[in-house]
Amino acid sequence: MAEQQNQNQNQVVEEDLNHLLKVRREKLAELQEAGKDPFQVTKYDVTVHSSDIKEHYDQWEGKEVTIAGRLMSKRVMGKAAFCNVQDLKGNIQSYVARDSIGEEEYKEFKKLDIGDIVGIKGTAFTTKTGEVSIHAESVDLLTKSLQILPEKFHGLTNTDIRYRQRYVDLIMNPEVRDTFVKRSQIIKAIRDHLDGQGFMEVETPMLVANAGGAAARPFETHYNALDEDVKLRISLELYLKRLIVGGLERVYEIGRVFRNEGVDTRHNPEFTLMELYQAYTDYHGMMDLVENLFRSVALKVLGTAVVTYDGVEIDLSKPFERISMVDALKKYKDIDFTEVHTDEEAKALADKYHVSYEARHKKGDILSLLFEEFVEEHLVQPTFIIDHPVEISPLTKKKPEDPEYTERFELFITKREMANAYSELNDPLDQIERFKAQEALLAAGDDEANSMDDDFINALMIGMPPTGGIGIGIDRFVMLLTDSYAIRDVLLFPTMKSLDK
């Protein structure tokens, strides 16, 4: 019985919706027949945005203003009405009186629908209740909305629809718009900071024959003109290092990379990565650089280096902790990995703590697995985890005093990896052996392993100076500074499964 009632209610709602959509089409047809087709409007001269009038009212009071935006509400009271228009920077109320805009124009105004895009010219004033408003002299319909926006007070809350219809999400949820405005500001602040440090921004190929520089499964496609299979890049690293070989001592790139992996709150198959390389420095220099970068960008965009994420205060103003992966495991789980000397002992330790691993895994792989299982959850405040095992660091210089480990760090904040950096391996003979080890893993079924890159080896043979390099996930950085839980919340158009699937 209840199911039948729900079906009947849904049918009534659908019929009402179809009627409202039909009415909007009829209004458009009437306008077109009267020679007032809004879709023939090509421009409208805007002089100011809503928030500018509100924030600098003393400069605009009594002066003529012209705004344009989306009609979000309308309240008609006989010969006068109030409406609210939303533009890029916010919204503002407008008082529309028949005697001010004309009788015919007022009739047309009353026919406007929520969602229509309008231009309003008038004078800035404050109402009796003290609200900054515009006393309209003219109202022009610039675009007729033929679809209905979500109900005003509930907004758009269904996350699936929000991600699929980001344009509606931006209209209905001002905090979403603010997130993406901040995203743009964050990227600009990163560029400004690096440019000020003497770095040069460059661009490298997205379609590559050999997708290297990270442990990830690539997307594959076919290049018709060359009749060759190619891959979408998973990293920016190997081409940027070629530029260091070529004598460009400080380079960076901010660009899309693509990894054929799962989708969750921290991962999207395509995401934005910033990688930079600096000649004549090491991973300690990279730690200094990234710490200063995070602090500088937060101050510039948010005005503070102390940010709140998921209710927890994250202090970017203090020096970031620096601790080795081995010491971190000792600190948080009381496991002393210095007592582990063989692959067999490492696997026995994993068995003891019920940590899964694969037969091909070696001692260093087990350390990484134990770290992920027992340490990451504790890394809320900014922490550099340094000195990673060589098995998981195929492009990194070994520590001269302990060649089982490498000069590598990952930056963790809010339990998430935010950056990955090395003292870059520049010994071509060592790099050949590392690539061979990676190819053995590839042959053993590890589809995230690298393969030999002969041209990159040739570049190293020419000679690459001692170099520090770093990769920063821009999306996760934006998540941190905008207090966003999921990566989809900071991507305008995240990857979504097709509805017809």
357 burial level (CB within 10 Å; 0-12, 13-18, 19+): middle
Q: Residue for token digits 């026919």?
A: 111
Contact between 113 and 73 (Cβ < 8 Å): no
Structure tokens at 3: 């199911």
**What gap in Å lies between CA 115 and CA 44, rounded to an integer?**
18
**What gap in Å lies between CA 486 and CA 496, rounded to an integer?**
14
Bridge-based pairing of strands 383-386 and 408-413 is: antiparallel
Residue 417 in marked binding region? yes
Q: Residue for token digits 């959850």?
A: 377
Cβ within 8 Å of residue 355, ≥6 positions away: 366, 369, 370, 373
Contact between 38 and 142 (Cβ < 8 Å): yes
Contact between 460 and 431 (Cβ < 8 Å): yes
**What gap in Å lies between CA 172 and CA 153, rounded to an integer?**
9
Structure tokens at 54: 């509100």
Picking from 474, 411, 473, 470, the residue whose alpha carbon sits closest to that of residue 281 is: 470
Contact between 383 and 414 (Cβ < 8 Å): no
DSSP letter (8 states) at residue 151:
P
Structure tokens at 258: 């693509």
**What gap in Å lies between CA 172 and CA 152, rounded to an integer?**
8
Binding residues: 410, 417
Binding residues for Mg(2+): 410, 417
